[in-house]
Amino acid sequence: MGVGAFKIRGNKKLSGILEVEGSKNGSLPIFVATLIEKGTYILRNIPNLMDIRTLIKLLESLGLEVEQLDKHSYKIVNNGIKNIEASYELVKKMRASFLVMGPILAHCGEAKVSLPGGCAIGARPVDLHLKGFEALGTEITIEHGYVYGKVKDGKLKGDKIILDFPSVGATENIIMAAVKAEGVTIIENVAREPEIDDLCHFLNKMGAKIEGIGEGKLTITGVDKLYPCEYEIIPDRIVAGTFIIAAVMFEGVKVKGVRTEHLESFLMKLQEMGVTYHIDENGLFEVTSKLEDLKGVKVKTMPHPGFPTDLQSPIMTLMCLAKGSSEITETIFENRFMHVPELNRMGAEITTEKNIAVIKGIDKFSSAQVMSSDLRAGAALVLAALKSEGESTVNRIYHIDRGYEDLEIKLRNIGADIERVKEEI
């Protein structure tokens, strides 16, 4: 793993436009969905990120040909899946790799995919994915760290599935398995994240019959054939949210590429804190309130349309600078407060008990050496470092590289003093 770090000399005057890239979590399932049907696909607005490169390696290992047309566009040729096994070496690098299971089952009737294992923010099992595949007529066995699935009678069959929890990954995996299954699949209590809607729109553009998009219950009528297509991925709402926080913290920073309909609960919380903003006719997001006027609020992370867990750590940085105290209850991942001790090293006053963090407002951050534990935690630390007097080092930025395209270049372009250096270990 690369051991890079960001050196940030904070408290500079920032001004200019931060542009949001295409959605990482939207791109991954759509890339994976090209496994389902043979043919040639063009995908646009794909962010230039490590996770995308990891996924491309995996797709190539399964037999797809992937060609990068320009920084954000790819041509994918599916001449048939040549290998039904997704290896541990590739899956362990990124949990979303497990999403290949549904499409391989749909295409080949048989799949062998490494179990992803845990990660820093929690255990993250795949039981809901597997229950879904079983409901559609797959026999599942787990051996030597791999899940082996074999479709009984060679053809997936539609059924009713009620998810115990609206898991994003399980919803996506089951949808991809169901689009060519025989008969009708009804999935209830599905995740409703915008990236899932985007996957459904992509599949419907290919000729799938998915109804109820965005409503919590999907009805999928299986079709025999899909038709490859060209598709443009939605902007990344989590990057947008992170940049909006930067704009709240630094007068003069604007954000381009915000889809407010994807960020409603987040924007409502900002408004509750006292943030005011407007979006001009060119779609530029501009903050009109002052940082010193913000007050603390309570946030609880929830499945969409609730407050997104991926913006929990970035908003915590902002809460540190608000008046009074704030509270965050994390309900999605059991271990997602690893950024707290790091923010405290930077002068924050945050205490945690179980899944609740209490954040006491402070006047300013103080620069320090810190470490990112996951990609959103890394973004939270970069935000804090930008607002600290003196020089901070944010270590383990390979996490940040997984989810934010050219972050230091974008920040430098608006006046930040940030450079990528070798991590001192």
Question: CB 131 → ligand UD1: shortest distance, Å?
Answer: 8
- For residue 143, what are the contacts with CB-CB under 8 A and spacing of at least 6? none
- Residue 309 engages ligand UD1 in binding (rule: CB under 6 A): yes
Q: Which two tokens stand for residue 62?
A: 């399964």
Of residues 195 and 197, the one with the C-beta less far from ligand UD1: 195
Cα-Cα-Cα-Cα dihedral of 51, 54, 58, 61, to 10°?
A: 160
Q: Which residues pair with 184 in a beta bridge?
A: 221
Terminal Cα distance for the chain, rounded: 13
- CA distances (Å), 61 to each of 2, 38, 177, 413, in order? 23, 16, 20, 37
- Residue 312 engages ligand UD1 in binding (rule: CB under 6 A): no
Per DSSP, helices labelled H in 109-187 are 127-135, 168-178
Of residues 122 and 216, the one with the C-beta less far from ligand UD1: 122
Strand 230-232 to strand 217-221: parallel, antiparallel, or no bridges (unpaired)?
A: unpaired
Of residues 239 and 322, the one with the C-beta less far from ligand UD1: 239
- Residue 25 engages ligand UD1 in binding (rule: CB under 6 A): yes
Task: State the sign of the Cα–Cα–Cα–Cα dihedral 384, 390, 395, 397.
Answer: positive
- CA distances (Å), 57 to each of 51, 146, 390, in order? 10, 19, 40
What is the distance between the alpha carbons of residues 164 and 347, in angstroms, rounded to a whole number? Answer: 40
Of residues 313 and 393, the one with the C-beta less far from ligand UD1: 313
**CB of 198 within 8 A of CB of 23?**
yes
- Residue in the structure block whose two tokens are 């490494």: 114
Of residues 31 and 277, the one with the C-beta less far from ligand UD1: 31
Question: CB 218 → ligand UD1: shortest distance, Å?
Answer: 15
- Residue 343 engages ligand UD1 in binding (rule: CB under 6 A): no
- For residue 278, what are the contacts with CB-CB under 8 A and spacing of at least 6? 286, 288
Question: CB 168 → ligand UD1: shortest distance, Å?
Answer: 4
- Residue 310 engages ligand UD1 in binding (rule: CB under 6 A): yes
CA–CA–CA angle 346, 348, 349 (5° rounding): 145
119 is catalytic: yes
Q: Which stretch binds ligand UD1 (CB under 6 A): 9-17, 127-135, 288-296, 344-352?
A: 127-135
Question: CB 278 → ligand UD1: shortest distance, Å?
Answer: 28
- Residue 333 engages ligand UD1 in binding (rule: CB under 6 A): yes
Give, as ranges, the residues between 177 and 236 that touch ligand UD1 (CB under 6 A): 191, 195
Residue in 233, 249, 332, 370 binding ligand UD1, rule: CB under 6 A: 332
Give, as ranges, the residues between 262 and 291 that touch ligand UD1 (CB under 6 A): none
Question: CB 311 → ligand UD1: shortest distance, Å?
Answer: 10
Residue in 2, 118, 122, 252 binding ligand UD1, rule: CB under 6 A: 122
- Residue 138 engages ligand UD1 in binding (rule: CB under 6 A): no
b (16+ CB within 10 A) / e for 58-76: bbebbebebeeeeebbbeb
What is the distance between the alpha carbons of residues 69 and 75, in angstroms, rounded to a whole number? Answer: 7
Of residues 126 and 200, the one with the C-beta less far from ligand UD1: 126
Question: CB 82 → ligand UD1: shortest distance, Å?
Answer: 25
Q: Which stretch binds ligand UD1 (CB under 6 A): 9-17, 58-66, 119-127, 365-373?
A: 119-127
Residue in 18, 28, 275, 385 binding ligand UD1, rule: CB under 6 A: 28
- Residue in the structure block whose two tokens are 């054939």: 225
Residue in 125, 154, 216, 252 binding ligand UD1, rule: CB under 6 A: 125
Candidate list 108, 119, 229, 320, residue with the active-site label: 119
What is the distance between the alpha carbons of residues 106 and 100, in angstroms, rounded to a whole number? Answer: 10
Q: Which two tokens stand for residue 144?
A: 């030597």
Of residues 254 and 405, the one with the C-beta less far from ligand UD1: 405
Site track for ligand UD1 across 151-180, x = CB under 6 A:
--------------x-xxxx----------
Give, as ranges, the residues between 80 and 99 that touch ligand UD1 (CB under 6 A): 95-96
CA 33 to chain CA centroid, Å, is 17
Give, as ranges, the residues between 375 and 394 that touch ligand UD1 (CB under 6 A): none
CA 393 to chain CA centroid, Å, is 25
Question: CB 216 → ligand UD1: shortest distance, Å?
Answer: 14
What is the distance between the alpha carbons of residues 271 and 262, in angstroms, rounded to a whole number? Answer: 16
**CB of 364 within 8 A of CB of 388?**
yes
Residues contributing to the site for ligand UD1 (CB under 6 A): 25, 28, 95-96, 122-129, 165, 167-170, 191, 195, 309-310, 332-333
Residues with catalytic function: 119
